[in-house]
Chains A and B, each alone.
Chain A
Amino acid sequence: MNDAAPLILLIEDDSQTRRFLKTSLANRGWRIAEADCAKSGLALLKSEQPDCVILDLGLPDMDGIAVARRLRQLSDLPVLVLSARSQEQNKIMALDAGADDYLTKPFGSGELHARLQALLRRVARSIAASETFETGQLKIDLARRKVFIAGNEVRITPIEFRLLGILVRHAGLVVTHRQLLGEVWGAEHIHDQHYLRIYMGQLRHKLEVNPARPRYLLTEVGVGYRLAADGS
């Protein structure tokens, strides 16, 4: 075991799932600390100083959303929540409570690996400030506020650029509707979904070859948007 490898705190009550996650993550070079309930998970958060947390929403001793909120209060660590399908509402509540992304069970280990990488990249990026973001043909120059597709500049309105900026900051991760509406239009507009639909539609028409089959600006139906990042 290499001390430089990132340490992941895994809070999951099912021992079989823990075992499979531990094996596949260890094979990809991550280190794991395990907890089978919220209480021991929160205790390990202090003692082990992990780099990232994987949190199952269905824990026996505490409501998953409350755990997500508590984790956010205790640290700035990236949190990935695991949820069963058909719990959209829980998922969104966990994201709004401070979780950074989610995976729906069942999922493959490749998907999990990609999400963890995106989470850690976000942490790294927030340390190194202004830069350019690139994925596929899309290049975003955050400092000069310019957007290019295959080297050609695309004209973007200020609001569109603010939306894009938030998505770039969370590249590879989901950003909820509430978060985008709150940051771009203000807290009083967090329910005005139609603003978001129209501006995201415009952005897609500018940036995507086929807006109905996007490569960059992905929709997480019922949750939010995700800017595709290399490797995710």
Chain B
Amino acid sequence: MLGSRRWQSHAGPEARLPARTRRERFIGYVCGIAAPFICTLAAWPLRSILEPASILMSYMLGVFLVASRYGRGASLTASLLSPPVFAYYFAPPIFSFAISDLENIVGLAIMIVVASLTSNLLDRARSQAEIARQRENRANALYRLSRALSDAQSREAIAALAAERIRDEFGAEAVIVPADENRRLPVAIAEVGPGFDAEAARQAFAANSTRHSQGAAYYPLAGSQTVFGVLLVRAEPSSRLAHPEALALFETFRNLVGQALERLYLAERAREAGLQVQAEALRNALLSAISHDLRTPLTRISGAAGALIDNADRLSAAERQEFYRAVFDEAQRMAELTSKILDMARLSSGEITLHCEWNALEEIVGSALTRLDKALRERPVRTQIPDRLPLLWVDAVLFEQVLANLIENAIKYTPPGSPIDIGAELAADGLQLTVTDYGAGIPDGMQQKIFDKFYRLSGETEHGGVGLGLALCRTIIAAHGGRIRATNVAGKGAAFIIDLPLREPPALDWGETVESGG
């Protein structure tokens, strides 16, 4: 009995045996009454060869079977009925309730004690199994809910998934109205479901306490600090919510949903704060990049121009030429930097929209190479573009910019005179375009970082880059639905690989037959 009390105290109010139905109880008692007579019938033919003590054992078996199936009440009936039946049919004098034998009286007494003990034990085992089953159900229900909640990425998803779980687990009609990002209930709350009372929902939300109205209950869904929504429930008397043992589970459900809504709210706040920090960091990086990269050429220009003005007579023709050249070169460099910075600013502010048209890759590559003709004068450029490549649906101006940036990069970071390879091939899911150089490659772990805005490999300032070229490439390629990555190729140097999805180009429906072979 002590064990039983300890078990009750920590298992909580829901840990009770479910009540047997009336029908089950009736069948139990019928069996309890029938069992002694069945035992009698079974043992009757054996009465001449068996001692009454052995026959008594068959009654024990009957009591035991009834106890294991129908519980205490039925087994008690059987154990109380067994002694008189035994006394009447088997204990001498038979066909009388009197018992002459002391042995049989002792046997009967032991049987009654054993039967009542075993039925007690069996009953307890049965109820413990039942408790374990209930606990497992409860744990499963909570597991399903928390899994559904952890998958949900928005308030609406949390509301829909949690309401569905409540309908499934408790068989009650449920609607969840989450508060918006300012922690206010939406205005259109009346439309959530027919027969729900918007005013009661508002009251439950404002007061953080349960309201009942028009046969429905309105529960606030609270996180650790404040309310994040309202749960509207209408339970029929037949639903599992009518069972008192389900109420604790239901409360846990509400807490879980409230916490999930709170978690999402806090995550949103954190993301906003993070975005602000990121924007701030970007602005600072831009300022420092501009102040350094634009000031350097400006200093050189004004220095050279100042020297020309102040010392016009004393400078030799060669010196003057050198200063003029410096002014010109630095101005060119500044022009290039400014246009990159402006491009990046316009691309990241979303100001640029793609002007996609059908374009030939060969043409865009050719245009980029023509543009960089001067810088490529000492470089062997090897192009490998298949003749039968389909047209690409791209913004040619931006795409040429990507190629030019990659080629310029290769020129900057590889020894003078080393070759540059440009290759294209059809892959399973689109076009793969690769620009490969023959330099030192990209240091390990930097293959991702080099695409970040204002990121420069150490010592890069001397090359005069602003750390925007590759970031521009990534932004432009992403706008085309493609991907760009960098890798090192053994025996060569760095390779920049662009994967671009392909679209079906329109057919030529006018003109002459396009010649094969080209």
> Given A106-B331, A219-B370, A212 and B385 touching (CB < 8 A)?
yes
Task: Please indicate the chain A residues that have their CB under 8 angstroms from the CB of B141 in the complex.
Answer: none
Task: Please indicate the chain B residues that have their CB under 8 angstroms from the CB of A193 in the complex.
Answer: 357-359
Pair B508/A198 contact, Cβ less than 8 Å:
yes
Pair A205/B518 contact, Cβ less than 8 Å:
yes
Question: Which A residues, 197 to 220, have Cβ-Cβ distances below 8 Å to chain B?
Answer: 197-202, 204-206, 210-214, 218-220
Assembled-state Cα–Cα distance A198/B505 (Å): 11
- Indicate with 1 or 0, residue by residue over B489-518, a CB within 8 angstroms of chain A CB atoms: 000000000000000011010111011001
Task: Please indicate the chain A residues that have their CB under 8 angstroms from the CB of B383 in the complex.
Answer: 210, 212-213
Pair A86/B391 contact, Cβ less than 8 Å:
no
Assembled-state Cα–Cα distance A210/B510 (Å): 28
Across the interface, B505 reaches (CB within 8 A) one of A189, A194, A199, A212, namely A194
Assembled-state Cα–Cα distance A210/B365 (Å): 12
Residue A157 interfacial (CB < 8 Å): yes
Pair A212/B362 contact, Cβ less than 8 Å:
yes
Distance between B363 CB and nearest chain A CB, rounded to angstroms: 5
Residue A185 interfacial (CB < 8 Å): yes
Distance between A217 CB and nearest chain B CB, rounded to angstroms: 9
Across the interface, B512 reaches (CB within 8 A) one of A157, A201, A206, A221, namely A157
Across the interface, B335 reaches (CB within 8 A) one of A106, A159, A221, namely A106
Task: Please indicate the chain B residues that have their CB under 8 angstroms from the CB of A210 in the complex.
Answer: 383
> Given A194-B505, A213-B366, A202 and B518 touching (CB < 8 A)?
yes
Assembled-state Cα–Cα distance A14/B481 (Å): 41
Residue A222 interfacial (CB < 8 Å): yes
Task: Please indicate the chain A residues that have their CB under 8 angstroms from the CB of B346 in the complex.
Answer: 86
Task: Please indicate the chain B residues that have their CB under 8 angstroms from the CB of A151 in the complex.
Answer: none
Assembled-state Cα–Cα distance A133/B395 (Å): 33
Residue B355 interfacial (CB < 8 Å): yes
Pair A159/B512 contact, Cβ less than 8 Å:
yes
Across the interface, A194 reaches (CB within 8 A) one of B358, B362, B422, namely B358
Assembled-state Cα–Cα distance A212/B385 (Å): 8
Residue B166 interfacial (CB < 8 Å): no
Assembled-state Cα–Cα distance A9/B202 (Å): 76
Pair B342/A185 contact, Cβ less than 8 Å:
no
Pair A158/B369 contact, Cβ less than 8 Å:
no
Task: Please indicate the chain A residues that have their CB under 8 angstroms from the CB of B335 in the complex.
Answer: 106
Distance between A94 CB and nearest chain B CB, rounded to angstroms: 16
Q: How many residues of B contact A (CB 8 A)?
A: 39
Pair B367/A219 contact, Cβ less than 8 Å:
yes
Distance between A111 CB and nearest chain B CB, rounded to angstroms: 12
Pair A194/B387 contact, Cβ less than 8 Å:
no
Q: How many residues of A contact B (CB 8 A)?
A: 33
Task: Please indicate the chain B residues that have their CB under 8 angstroms from the CB of A211 in the complex.
Answer: 362, 366
Question: Which B residues, 133 to 175, have Cβ-Cβ distances below 8 Å to chain A?
Answer: none
Closest to A217 in B: B366
Residue A88 interfacial (CB < 8 Å): yes
Pair A204/B367 contact, Cβ less than 8 Å:
no
Task: Please indicate the chain A residues that have their CB under 8 angstroms from the CB of B395 in the complex.
Answer: 222
Residue A144 interfacial (CB < 8 Å): no
Closest to A197 in B: B360
Judged by DSSP, the binding face of A is helix
Residue B396 interfacial (CB < 8 Å): yes
Question: Which A residues, 124 to 157, have Cβ-Cβ distances below 8 Å to chain B?
Answer: 157
Pair B506/A222 contact, Cβ less than 8 Å:
no
Question: Which A residues, 166 to 194, have Cβ-Cβ distances below 8 Å to chain B?
Answer: 185, 189, 192-194
Closest to A218 in B: B370
Closest to B376 in A: A213
Assembled-state Cα–Cα distance A214/B360 (Å): 14
Question: Which B residues, 342 to 380, have Cβ-Cβ distances below 8 Å to chain A?
Answer: 342-343, 346, 355, 357-360, 362-367, 369-370
Closest to B422 in A: A212
Across the interface, A200 reaches (CB within 8 A) one of B357, B360, B508, namely B360
Assembled-state Cα–Cα distance A89/B353 (Å): 12
Distance between B314 CB and nearest chain A CB, rounded to angstroms: 24
Pair B339/A86 contact, Cβ less than 8 Å:
yes
Pair A221/B397 contact, Cβ less than 8 Å:
yes
Residue B381 interfacial (CB < 8 Å): yes
Task: Please indicate the chain A residues that have their CB under 8 angstroms from the CB of B381 in the complex.
Answer: 213
Distance between B338 CB and nearest chain A CB, rounded to angstroms: 9
Assembled-state Cα–Cα distance A210/B383 (Å): 9
> Given A198-B508, A202-B518, A219 and B366 touching (CB < 8 A)?
yes
Pair A221/B518 contact, Cβ less than 8 Å:
no
> Given A195-B510, A213-B381, A221-B396, A201 and B360 touching (CB < 8 A)?
yes
Distance between A182 CB and nearest chain B CB, rounded to angstroms: 13
Residue A46 interfacial (CB < 8 Å): no
Distance between A135 CB and nearest chain B CB, rounded to angstroms: 15
Distance between A177 CB and nearest chain B CB, rounded to angstroms: 8
Pair A212/B515 contact, Cβ less than 8 Å:
no
Pair B366/A212 contact, Cβ less than 8 Å:
yes
Pair B363/A200 contact, Cβ less than 8 Å:
yes
> Given A86-B339, A194-B391, A222-B355, A201 and B363 touching (CB < 8 A)?
yes
Distance between A92 CB and nearest chain B CB, rounded to angstroms: 10
Assembled-state Cα–Cα distance A185/B505 (Å): 19
Across the interface, A189 reaches (CB within 8 A) one of B332, B339, B342, B510, namely B510
Pick the 7 closest A-B CB pairs, nearest first.
Answer: A212-B383, A194-B358, A222-B397, A205-B518, A219-B367, A221-B400, A197-B360
A-B contact pairs, 30 of them (CB 8 A): A85-B339, A88-B355, A185-B510, A193-B357, A193-B359, A194-B505, A195-B510, A197-B359, A197-B391, A200-B360, A201-B518, A204-B363, A206-B518, A210-B383, A211-B366, A212-B385, A213-B365, A213-B366, A213-B369, A213-B370, A214-B366, A218-B366, A219-B363, A219-B367, A219-B370, A221-B364, A221-B396, A221-B400, A222-B397, A222-B400
